[in-house]
Amino acid sequence: MSHWTPDAIPEQGGRTALITGGNSGIGLVTARVLAARGARIILAGRSQANLDGAVQKVLDVTPTADVATLVVDLSDLASVGEAATRIAETETVDLLFNNAGIMNLPTRQTTRDGFEMTFGTNHLGHFAFDAQVWPAVLRSTAPRVVTVSAIAARWPMGRLEDLMSEKSYRGMGAYAKSKRANVVYTLELARRTAGTPLKALVVHPGAAMTNLQQHGDGALSRAFTPIAARLLMGSSEGAAWPSLYAATASDVQSGQFIGPAGRDQTSGTPKPAKLPKGADDPQQGARLWAESEQLTGVAFKP
């Protein structure tokens, strides 16, 4: 594959992109780029004030952009259901980005519904949102669902056991578990929608300084983060490339894992990446899907 950049993105007029976590970081970059190509954008996030600020940042680049907002808290299933129902009843969603996430909470916290916060937000919240927004996705003639995972999906601590981290809790362990779930979920979605126009893709952005890095485990983490920002991490702009490529490139296939091709896969042009070991096991996919339906109380029949 030749070197890909967002300059290769075709015009997106007539397509609507819904982006969770669209008010900052990778989500905001994704919104700005797609709006510049003519897409209608729906920015989803927890704070209307933050969303309004993000809308202005999109308009600063593309004054004629069509940008709407959707307040949703992925850690609250009632909020998820209300927001998703609004979209399901009124919209056609061509590009659905499961982009929002939290990382490395220093102590175990729970969502309003009693789930471990990281897994509950990063996976279960998106699972319930996708399930209930699905009628809007089905109205599209060529829909794509792009879920943002991470390199952490490959870590051994990310095994899909003790999903609520009740036996033991480590911030990055819970994060790795949620990011592996993102991959397993996407591959199962690809299997369940095989033979349809929908493409389900999962991406990892490499490494970039975004709002995810706001949590750390003490003084060592706080001291290391600025160094990592300079030496290891790319920009939010570059980190959004895998998402943009997955959403718009003509040569991607449903079920692919897309990441940057550079050294250690921290940056560079996007390309298909190696899956976490065992993530493509259909039995694991079916099990996670069933557990997600049971935990959230939301049936998902794509």
Active site residues: 175
SS (H, E, C) the chain: CCCCCHHHCCCCCCCEEEEECCCCHHHHHHHHHHHHCCCEEEEEECCHHHHHHHHHHHHHHCCCCCEEEEECCCCCHHHHHHHHHHHHHHCCCCEEEECCCCCCCCCCCECCCCCEHHHHHHHHHHHHHHHHHHHHHHCCCCCEEEEECCHHHHCHHHCCCCCCCCCCCCHHHHHHHHHHHHHHHHHHHHHHCCCCCCEEEEECCCCECCHHHHCCCCHHHHHHHHHHHHHCCECHHHHCHHHHHHHHCCCCCCCCEEEECCHHHCCCCEEECCCCCCCCCHHHHHHHHHHHHHHHCCCCCC
